[in-house]
């Protein structure tokens, strides 16, 4: 709004300044987009074009070889299914626990909310560290089970704060008092009034937890041993970073070809792994911003 008004009588200096800003922002966009476009273009090129460095911006010798290789890889398919499982159930558990905690914390009539807030905020300042956290998961016999992916990181303090702030500001105390007069219990009020009124914040929580689950690899790396339980990110790490493709005992020409295909497959794999997030991104973008903003009102 302020920008619109001031353009009328922008001085020469202001115009130069504004031009510099536009140039700066265009450069920022290019720097961010270029690697992404390069990866996608490479993934649609031929193995030879990728390994000989012919791809600069657009696909060269369009082919779907890389994607064929990805979908022929059983590890990737199992990882994909596992990640969907962890993301769905992990998000369900996380959102439920977060709402259960955040709603009572948002009510003034709830005695003890001050100490309870301190109780959770303190965990942001100090933690037991990696080893004691690992040992508790071990003692609970969760190692190498699906539970290890769903429970130990179930609640993020930040999300509790965001949800609490939302409940505080959008569910007025008068509404609670009125429903109490009518003999509505706290539980019923939560289920039939608060949750329907809080769809925006629940969307934010679902999205944040889901992206977190989909993208996490570290817990899986330390808690899981069986390959059949690995989420996609661990499979990706093994293929893309640790490089576990074996090429022993093959003739040189065949090996060369396989190596080229393996290189190409990495690009396709990156695209395939990011697709779920990329598809939902345009829809969730606004909600994410809202989440960050609510969180920043009262940190």
Q: Which of residues 149-208 bind other proteins (CB under 8 A)?
A: 151-152, 154-155, 160, 185-187, 190
**To the nearest whole angstrom, how small is the minimum distance from the Cβ of residue 181 to other proteins?**
13
Residue number, 71 or 288, with CB nearest to other proteins: 288
**Residue of 58, 62, 64, 123 that binds other proteins (CB under 8 A):** 123
Buried b (16+ CB within 10 A) or exposed e, 152-166: ebebbeebbbbbbbb
For tokens 């090996």, the residue is 255
Answer whether 50's CB lies under 8 Å from 42's CB. Answer: yes
Q: Is 7 in the site for other proteins (CB under 8 A)?
A: yes
For tokens 């999205």, the residue is 207
**To the nearest whole angstrom, how small is the minimum distance from the Cβ of residue 111 to other proteins?**
3
**Residue of 78, 84, 202, 222 that binds other proteins (CB under 8 A):** 222
Cα separation of 40 and 33, whole Å?
11
Q: Is 19 in the site for other proteins (CB under 8 A)?
A: no
Q: Convert residues 60-99 into a mask of x (bound to other proteins by CB under 8 A) and - (unbound).
A: -------------------------------------xx-
Q: Is the dihedral of CA 266, 272, 273, 279 positive or negative?
A: positive
Answer whether 126's CB lies under 8 Å from 187's CB. Answer: no
Answer whether 66's CB lies under 8 Å from 267's CB. Answer: yes
Contacts to other proteins from residues 233-272, by CB under 8 A = 233, 236-237, 240-241, 263, 266-267, 270
């Amino acid at each position: 709004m302020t920008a619109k008004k001031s353009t009328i009588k922008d001085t020469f200096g202001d115009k130069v300044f504004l031009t510099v800003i536009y140039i700066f922002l265009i450069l920022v966009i290019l720097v961010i987009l270029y690697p992404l476009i390069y990866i996608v273009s490479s993934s649609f090129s031929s193995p030879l074009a990728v390994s000989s460095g012919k791809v600069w911006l657009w696909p060269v010798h369009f082919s779907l070889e890389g994607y064929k290789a990805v979908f022929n890889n059983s590890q990737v398919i199992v990882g994909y299914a596992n990640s969907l499982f962890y993301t769905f159930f992990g998000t369900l558990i996380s959102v439920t626990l977060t709402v259960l905690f955040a709603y009572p914390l948002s009510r003034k009539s709830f005695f003890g909310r001050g100490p309870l807030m301190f109780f959770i905020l303190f965990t942001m300042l100090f933690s037991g560290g990696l080893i004691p956290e690992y040992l508790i998961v071990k003692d609970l016999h969760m190692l190498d089970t699906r539970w290890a992916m769903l429970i130990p990181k179930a609640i993020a303090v930040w999300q509790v704060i965001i949800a609490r702030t939302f409940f505080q500001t959008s569910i007025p105390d008068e509404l609670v008092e009125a429903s109490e007069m009518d003999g509505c219990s706290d539980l019923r009020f939560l289920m039939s009034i608060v949750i329907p009124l809080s769809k925006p914040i629940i969307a934010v929580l679902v999205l944040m937890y889901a992206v977190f689950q989909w993208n996490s690899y570290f817990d899986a790396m330390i808690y899981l041993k069986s390959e059949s339980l690995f989420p996609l990110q661990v499979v990706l790490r093994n293929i893309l970073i640790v490089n576990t493709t074996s090429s022993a005992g093959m003739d040189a020409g065949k090996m060369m070809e396989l190596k080229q295909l393996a290189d190409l497959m990495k690009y396709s794999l990156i695209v395939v792994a990011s697709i779920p997030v990329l598809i939902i991104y345009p829809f969730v973008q606004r909600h994410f911003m809202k989440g960050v903003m609510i969180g920043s009102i009262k940190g």
